[in-house]
Amino acid sequence: MYYLLTLIGILIVYGLLAILKPDLAWENSEKWKTENAEEPSETYLWQVRISGVISIFLAISILAGILLKIFYFS
């Protein structure tokens, strides 16, 4: 049970960072791959933001499943 709550926390933190600061992901993972890169493309930024929304949705779904199990199916 505690590992699921930890997973929910990690997914929410990742999702918020991806939505609010998508350029951090680019600086840490993609910037070194290009020689004269100054900033990420708009497509990359949208891709990271969408993955953040999906991760938050996944965290909410897991939390809803836990709450349903505790209060409805117990």
Q: What is the per-residue pLDDT for 30?
A: 85
How confident is the model over 20-59, as pLDDT tens digits? 999 998 888 888 888 887 888 899 999 999 999 999 999 9
Which residue did the predictor score with more confidence, 8 or 31?
8
pTM (2 d.p.): 0.86
Residue 48: CB atoms within 10 A of its CB come to 21
Q: What is the per-residue pLDDT for 37?
A: 79
pLDDT at position 18 over 90: yes
DSSP 24-44: HHHHHHTGGGSSS--S--HHH
**What pLDDT band is residue 73 in, cutting at 50, 70 and 90?**
confident
Which residue did the predictor score with more confidence, 10 or 27?
10
**CA–CA dist 52, 44 (Å, integer):** 12
